[in-house]
Structure 1
Amino acid sequence: MARLLALVLVLWTLALGRDAADRWIDATELPLLVQATSPEVRDRNGELLRAYTVEDGRWRMAVTAEAVDPRFTAMLIAYEDKRFARHAGVDAWAALRAAAQGLRHGRIVSGASTLTMQVARLLEEGATGTWRGKLRQVRLALALERRLSKTQILQLYLERAPYGGNIEGLRAATLAWFGKEPRRLTPAESALLVALPQAPEARRPDRHPQAARAARDRVLTRMAAAGVIDSDTARAAMRDPAPESRHPVPMLAPHMADRALAQGRGRHDLTLDAGLQRQLEALVATHMTGRDVRLSAALVLADHRSGEILASVGSPDYAATRGQGFIDMTRARRSPGSTLKPLVYGLAFDRGLAHPETLIADTPVQFGTYAPQNFDGIFMGEMRAARALQLSRNVPVVRLTEALGPAHLMTALRRAGMAPELPGGAPGLAVSLGGVGVTLEEMVTLYAALANGGTARPLRWTPGPGFTTLSVIDARGHAGRSRAPRRRP
């Protein structure tokens, strides 16, 4: 009878202890789980164009567990917390071993830290080298396991683990150390990424390459012993070179990215194509090599059917200080020179004032005090309108502008979606020769309308709805409205 009473008392005490522990865990106040991540600008296919640091200057890129190479995840769990899927936040067997060693030496010798406990430490950023700190970490880990799924806990680790310098999280690490996204990693890359968070500064590949490589190889050895990878794979991975410098974070379309960031932090998806953007940035830079640094160049590539901007280069070198490369020349107002001439001819053809075979005089003429000249100072006499446009003769286009009326030309520009600025206020005949301020984007809009049979579609650089409003410009410069489905390039 006494034994039965003792057993009941023990069970009752354990139940009380369990209930007290449950209340203690449930009363745990979780720290903020959501943390700001680096703003990102991506292209139409989801490829990263540019990213920005968070406010404290760190690279902390958003990442999900599903977007990570499964081999890395398997190596991480096998190395750091092989019972991650089964424990409730604390690995009892590892804790007993660590406790015995701690009692023997009077200090914490070996770790029993689970991935959940490491997440708890990262969330609180407090000292855990004391028994009190370790107890706080244990309590938070138990609370996290009760309120989050294993996938959510793993994702917190992937977002917050330190990887040296101002690099936080796995995705920032793969971009910085390997110049790639974490979706596909080699065994050597995965092993280094497993090893770095344990001592992120002491093992920084750019400062301590030997320490980084040694730590990586230890992970590979253990993974082979645990059966995560085979021995041949481990030996081959050990022969792979370790990175010794950081890769720059992608910085494509910097001007357009700044434009997106001005609308708010977070992720921005653009209509740009990263491959085209990369090629055209290189093209502009090559074209400007060896030229006066004070000169600039810009380029906009758009689909005339959809109005979507596929590439936008605001300057040859965004970082150039002498050339003020930070200025986005695609939106700076400049004289368009002779590039308005096709519009003048198109309007004249529409109104019946001329057609491609009409003879136009390229001869000296005076309009009040204005006497237009050709760029070469030569007058070529009568010629077909088509030929005059091909040769970009000034006098013939001024004659057509006088017949159309400069105000009508300005109206047509505005109805095409442009906002031309006149230096003198009232439009004159010199408008057709570039005597007006417009942006490159506006000129692309105009030329897209010409390619579209007179249908002007506003340029877009962010994805929009499936339908968009069209402006159809007639011969009088008036715009009719219609709706049509947006077609992708």
Structure 2
Amino acid sequence: MKRRLTIGALALVVAAGLADLLLPPDLGRLQAVSVVVEDRVGRLLRPFASPDGTWRMGAEPSQVSPLYLSMLREMEDRRFGWHPGVDPLAMIRASAQMVSHGRVVSGGSTLTMQLARLLTPKPRTIAAKLTEMARAVQLQMRLGRDGVLAGYLTLAPFGGALEGVRAASLAWFGREPDHLAPAQAALLVALPQSPERLRPDRNPVAAKAARDRVLDRAAKAGIIAADVAASAKQDPVPTAMLDMPMAAPHLSTRLAAQATGAVVRTTLDGTLQRTMETLVEAQSRFWPDNADMAVMVVANDGRRVLAHVGSAQWRRCQIDLTRAVRSPGSTLKPFIYALAFDDLSLHPATLVVDAPRRFGAWMPRNFDQDSHGEMPVREALQRSLNVPAVQALELVGPARLATLLRQSGAELAFPPLAEPSLPLALGGVGMKLADLVMLYAGLGEDGRVRKLAYQAGQPADPGTVLVGQAAARAVLRILEAAPAPPGMVSANVARRGRAIAFKTGTSYGFRDAWAIGVSKDYTVGVWVGRPDGVPRPGEYGLATAAPMLFQIFDQLPPETGSRPPSSQPDHALYHGVPPLALARLRPPDDDAGGRDTSERPRLLFPLDGAEVEPIGAGIALMAQGGTPPLRWLANGRPLSPGAEFWHPDGPGFSRLTVVDGQGRQASASIRVVTPP
């Protein structure tokens, strides 16, 4: 007898397995859920409707209030977890009640049977009920207790386009279902019983009555105390659906469109993100001319984007202005000087003359339309003077600057058929806020530029070295001492022990106002302007964007310490006095103050912009003019005295400089190529 029972049990198991294999349940609706975008710790930023237009957000039992789950089991399936998907006792009880009362008093459907019906809705017939029972057993075997419960929590209807307890809790209460008050939990248990008839925004009386019945049942079962139930009954039911959360809407929309799964975990800090959105929206109310703002906050460690505000109001401007191509104004000047420092073509204490000067047919002027005479390079950068910056770019080479920025990952937009030229120093190119923030964060990591990370788990970018550590730190030290915005005292920053290296910029015609700042731990970028590019006279970077930059830094956590010591503490850039050859930057037509009218040195080979293939001895070095002795530098490093050839380390861009006995110099940016 025992053997026959064992064989029969095995036969049933085999038959059930074959049935499950041949007639698997359709779990398509469980897979067609809303894409949800979360912050770095899993807090919801923004959900998106599922493909069929419903709000159907996946939910696990661990994401839902234990109080709600207890009330749910009490009302819908007391023996859930103890039966195989069908509860015979509940079926017998329901049948007996129907016979004795002549109507349906209570249902016999388990949560598993309800899930089967939600997965494949069918007309309520005897045949459909039997199919539902068979599917319930199958689902219980396939998904297990927690899987079945997760399916119900995801698909249960709550009125309108709401499916699942997460969507319902957000729409009716504006909160996740992990912590629910008794009245809220009871309403969410009651609604699926008749989701349209009990919708509280349409029939609040019926909804309240249904909720109160759940509270009474919970009190009777000992789930909540009687006085708690009585107090909960006094709470009003919601009378309108709330909008779904919409934090970081621009970034969320972009990431959701690229998503391959239902959950997108970002690097954003949800609390900081909402603080930034509130700050930007409040500031935008003071602008009557439809101006807008974009903000990015990045953690220098790992380049994690902590906050992303694409515009002040999503409903007014759905363009992600952090990715809009605009003129960067003067914000590229730090990189010009950083390259010149890296080459040792300039030193922070090199004297430059800010005076009117023509560069071909172009004569740039300062923002204040004035000239300020002789001063050190550091002051010229702090005051964002234009003529010295163009002179520095003349040394560095606009093509070289553009190439290095592109190699670092930045996109530069020039007019069709246009080549990089000297106006690049003053914003003669199109760039994105996101790329500028990426480049400035590179200065914060001693010159190594890495791609920004928007998603958690994104592979680390090895990055590209734009300039060396000494050059990057020299620029940051200069910008840390830049004048604060008008009427702005950096006491808030000082209180937090935070040194901020910041640069502002204003594009031609006052169309764009920029401010970008770097501290040890953070990089912040702010853009202000009109999305349509209409000028805003009088609105410039230092007055319009910089105050917001300082406000944002004041919202950030304190710095974790100071920068580590330099790996090259004796580098010439850290000395207060420049080398003799870098004491003064003279324009090409300068006669050295009348002390020597000899010809300035000039390069005969290689020429600026040339592609050069080394021969066996290296690359020949030829110069003419100047006061002897002539000294050569390759990429800022001195060559041996009297050098006639240079051996490059490999292919790529390099800069050769010849300096005469009076410190006058000539340079060429070349590209070293190797034979195929």
Letter in 2 for 1:91: D
Look up the match of 1:190.
Answer: 185
Superposed counterparts of 1:87-166, under 5 Å: 87-103=83-99, 108=104, 110-128=106-124, 130-166=125-161
Q: What is the CA deviation profile of residues 197-251 of structure 1, one whole-angstrom value per residue up to 9, with x for unaligned ones?
A: 0011111122222222221111101111111211122112222232222222221
Q: Secondary structure at the match of 2:302?
A: coil
Letter in 2 for 1:268: V
In structure 2, do the counterparts of structure 1 residues 415 and 199 end up closer, same or farther at CA, with 3 Å as the change threshold?
Answer: same
Question: Which residue, out of 299, 304, 308, partners 1:312?
Answer: 308
Q: Larger deviation: 71-80 or 109-118?
A: 109-118
CA–CA distance in structure 2, aligned partners of residues 22 and 407 of structure 1:
74
Aligned-pair CA distance for 1:105: 7.1
Look up the match of 1:287.
Answer: 283
CA–CA distance in structure 1, aligned partners of residues 331 and 12 of structure 2:
81
In structure 2, do the counterparts of structure 1 residues 76 and 293 end up closer, same or farther at CA, with 3 Å as the change threshold?
Answer: farther
Look up the match of 2:42.
Answer: 46
In structure 2, do the counterparts of structure 1 residues 94 and 269 end up closer, same or farther at CA, with 3 Å as the change threshold?
Answer: closer
CA–CA distance in structure 1, aligned partners of residues 26 and 433 of structure 2:
46
CA contact (8 A) 1:341 1:389 kept: yes
Q: What is the CA deviation profile of residues 24-74 of structure 1, one whole-angstrom value per residue up to 9, with x for unaligned ones?
A: 997473531243110011111111111101111101101112222222111
Structure (1/2) with the larger strand percentage: 2
Q: Larger deviation: 364-373 or 309-318?
A: 309-318
Look up the match of 1:444.
Answer: 437
Look up the match of 2:231.
Answer: 236
In structure 2, do the counterparts of structure 1 residues 405 and 148 end up closer, same or farther at CA, with 3 Å as the change threshold?
Answer: closer
Look up the match of 1:3.
Answer: none
Look up the match of 2:217.
Answer: 222
CA–CA distance in structure 1, aligned partners of residues 310 and 173 of structure 2:
28
| Residue 390 (structure 2) pairs with residue 398 (structure 1) | yes
CA contact (8 A) 2:25 2:135 kept: no
Q: What is the CA deviation profile of residues 341-374 of structure 1, one whole-angstrom value per residue up to 9, with x for unaligned ones?
A: 1111222222223322222211111111011111
CA–CA distance in structure 1, aligned partners of residues 48 and 363 of structure 2:
53
Percent of pairs identical after alignment? Answer: 45
In structure 2, do the counterparts of structure 1 residues 425 and 176 end up closer, same or farther at CA, with 3 Å as the change threshold?
Answer: same
Question: Which residue, out of 350, 369, 393, partners 2:342?
Answer: 350
In structure 2, do the counterparts of structure 1 residues 264 and 376 end up closer, same or farther at CA, with 3 Å as the change threshold?
Answer: same
Look up the match of 1:258.
Answer: 253
Q: How many residues align?
A: 463
CA–CA distance in structure 1, aligned partners of residues 299 and 92 of structure 2:
66
CA–CA distance in structure 2, aligned partners of residues 455 and 89 of structure 1:
59
CA contact (8 A) 1:44 1:269 kept: yes
CA contact (8 A) 1:416 1:445 kept: no
Look up the match of 2:169.
Answer: 174
Q: What is the CA deviation profile of residues 6-35 of structure 1, one whole-angstrom value per residue up to 9, with x for unaligned ones?
A: xx9xxx9xx99xx99996997473531243
Q: What is the CA deviation profile of residues 126-173 of structure 1, one whole-angstrom value per residue up to 9, with x for unaligned ones?
A: 122x43433333333333334442222222211111011101011111
Aligned-pair CA distance for 1:78: 0.9
CA–CA distance in structure 1, aligned partners of residues 382 and 13 of structure 2:
87
Look up the match of 1:303.
Answer: 299
Q: Larger deviation: 49-58 or 114-123?
A: 114-123
Look up the match of 1:474.
Answer: 467
Look up the match of 2:325.
Answer: 333
CA–CA distance in structure 1, aligned partners of residues 442 and 134 of structure 2:
65
Structure (1/2) with the larger helix percentage: 1
Look up the match of 2:454.
Answer: 461
Look up the match of 2:273.
Answer: 277
Look up the match of 1:69.
Answer: 65
CA–CA distance in structure 2, aligned partners of residues 26 and 431 of structure 1:
72
Q: Which fold has the larger relative contact order, with Cα–Cα distance below 8 Å and residues 6 or more apart in sequence?
A: 1
Q: Larger deviation: 49-58 or 353-362?
A: 353-362
Q: CA RMSD in A?
A: 3.0
* Structure 1: 5+ residue stretches without partners: 1-7, 479-486
Letter in 2 for 1:471: T
Look up the match of 1:412.
Answer: 404
Aligned-pair CA distance for 1:471: 1.7
Superposed counterparts of 1:1-80, under 5 Å: 27=19, 29-33=23-27, 34-80=30-76
CA–CA distance in structure 2, aligned partners of residues 187 and 461 of structure 1:
38
CA contact (8 A) 1:253 1:312 kept: yes
Letter in 2 for 1:241: P
In structure 2, do the counterparts of structure 1 residues 455 and 141 end up closer, same or farther at CA, with 3 Å as the change threshold?
Answer: closer
CA contact (8 A) 2:112 2:136 kept: yes
CA–CA distance in structure 2, aligned partners of residues 251 and 244 of structure 1:
21
* Structure 2: 5+ residue stretches without partners: 472-520, 523-559, 561-676
Aligned-pair CA distance for 1:103: 4.7
Q: Secondary structure at the match of 2:462?
A: strand
CA contact (8 A) 2:25 2:139 kept: no
